[in-house]
Chain A
Amino acid sequence: MIYTRLPRLVLRETSFQESHQKKDQDLTEMNREIDLRGLVCPEPVIRTKRLLDDQDTQKIEALVESEVNVKNLARLARSQNVSMSCSNEGDFYRVVLTKGEPSPRTELEELAIKESQKETNKNRVGTVVFLAKDTFGQGDPDFSQSLMNVFLQTLFDSGHRPRAILLANSGVKLMDPEGSVLQVLNGFAEAGCEVLACGLCLDHYALKDKVPADQITNMFNICEFLMTADRVLTP
């Protein structure tokens, strides 16, 4: 009753079962291999659960297509106190679930934590522009400052949108409403790019009142951005 796929997939699965029947018999009764590729969620997790529920099953090797399937199986393993490992085999994943030797719960918790950290990082990838001074390189101060203006304007006009522009030390002066650079920084912000200035630095240069609260950040956040970016530009 819970088959929910179109005939194409039903046929595929039937042929799979036929071709693997022999192999299944060759394997020890306790070890099961199951190909769940091509099945629509939640079928992969249901079928794995059904195999796990079978008392004879000791170990399951499941082939799944997507990361979502892997995450779902990780939760299943956690709830059933079964150890799980996973390897990426190119365009699919091989998930091994082993009964009998339940890995300590903490290990599975770690798997879940790792997963959420990974996701946080994934959210943070991309290019980050880090401006820790208000000049573009070092040289004649006035010239270096106007070069910074030219750089940001050119970057904006080129259509590149970094994930974030971080301002620290004298770089926060670029946020001064009386300066000439704020306009282009606002342009980036409006385009969805995070423009953030170090709060400590704003304090030091007496600019904190002139910058909106949601554009003020701290060193912790700056570190997070820098450590998780694909690329950091510091002109």
Chain B
Amino acid sequence: MSEKIEYEQRRLTSNIKAGGCAAKLGSAELSKLLARIPSKTTPELIAGIGNFEDAAVYKISEDLAIVETIDFFPPVIDDPYLFGQIAAANALSDIYAMGGKPVLALNIVCFPTCDFEEEVLVEILRGGADQVEKAGAVIAGGHSIQLEQPVYGLAVTGLVNPKEVFTNGGAQPFDKLVLTKPIGSGVALLGMKAGMLSEGARNELIRNLTTLNSGALQAGRQYEIHALTDVTGFGLTGHLHEMAKASALKSRLNLSSICILPEVVELAQQGLVPAGAYGNRESFNDRVKYLNKVELEWEDLLFDPQTSGGLLFSLNPDHAEQLVEDLKDLSLQASIIGEMLPLEPNESIGAVEVTAN
């Protein structure tokens, strides 16, 4: 018995209520709360919280701006090295989502040194450092505190030409939407925690979670991109709504062309749905319109909070197929998932229409 307890104590995801981006505060909750905080802005801040952008962009000169982001969360997986990799890929992604190049990162660490061996933290940091190196950036320091629940992430600084910043706004009517990773990671992570994910599905999940979005951005740059975000805590519908809203359009998702991780439909059917998905449903349900019957588990997947999700491009429709081909060459499971559409009279801005065909 005592041996078993010791073993359990070393499991990183022990007692973690919501890991990854599922740990994020709800969008509705957050908007309400932030509305009570006085906010000031400055002309140099060319992208910020206004349209729920992925990162802040601060213009320094005509051809240089810095991109700032911070992202951290509790463990999503028991392997500390993989957790470090996933958290870092997720944090770096916000820089890519603005069209930037990461240059500098700082570690954010909460860690209970009484409950876990030092080695665990070393592995987490090593996972993060490997990703930052892969991204061509450097870790310049960080901050760590003792806390009951482990948390890891990065504050990242990137560089971008202010004229080449990609934001949620700017999508054009009839743009095609290209997503560069499959969805369902919130459900799959819960399934993994439940021991219900097969080894093959687990490997596929980890491969996606640890993949940097740098390659996807580089591929996208070759084409006429109008808007860009990454799909994370607010789920596919939440992020798509923000993009359509900021672009004063509506969007349409085609369910049959959305890639999903293996086994997630079955898991969602059986109730392995993270709390964050219900929070997203609460925040965005009245923005989503189902054009025909959509199964409950598919609804849940559309609201599923994604950890280290893919990039979502809104681009010139003539370029979409070629971009998908290029992304597939990078071993990314990309597809055209829908399109942006003009608003008809009396339609609400930012609506997400979902069709099963």
Contacts and interface: CB of A to CB of B under 8 A. Distances in A.
Given A75-B296, A119-B282, A2 B271 contact: no
Contacts of A42: 190-191, 193-194, 272
Interface string B325-357: 000000000000000000101101100000000
Contacts of B36: 159, 161, 191
Given A4-B14, A123-B282, A76 B270 contact: yes
A120 B285 contact: yes
Interface string A58-102: 000000001110011111101110000000000000000000000
Given A42-B194, A78-B296, A213-B343, A120 B273 contact: no
B297 interface: yes
Contacts of A71: 271, 273, 278
B40 to A, nearest CB: 12
Contacts of B193: 4, 42
Contacts of A112: 296
Contacts of B15: 4-6, 9, 40
Contacts of B271: 45, 49, 71-76, 79
Nearest to A124: B286
Contact of A68 (B4, B5, B194, B278): B278
Contact of A119 (B14, B195, B281, B349): B281
Nearest to B274: A41
A2 B5 contact: no
Interface stretch (B26-34, B54-62, B129-137): B26-34
A67 B275 CA distance: 9
Interface string B238-271: 0000000100100000000000000000001111
A193 interface: yes
B194 A10 contact: no
Contact of B17 (A41, A72, A78, A161): A41
A163 to B, nearest CB: 8
Contacts of B185: none
A1 B196 CA distance: 12
A35 B273 CA distance: 20
A7 interface: yes
Interface of A: 1-7, 9-10, 40-43, 45-46, 49, 66-68, 71-76, 78-80, 109, 112, 116, 119-120, 122-124, 159, 161, 191-193, 199, 213-214, 217-218, 221, 224
Interface of B: 4-5, 8-9, 11, 13-18, 28, 31-32, 34-36, 190-191, 193-196, 245, 248, 268-275, 278, 281-283, 285-286, 296-297, 299-300, 343, 345-346, 348-349
Given A1-B195, A4-B13, A191-B35, 11 more contacts: A4-B14, A6-B9, A40-B17, A42-B190, A72-B273, A116-B285, A119-B278, A192-B35, A214-B248, A214-B349, A221-B348
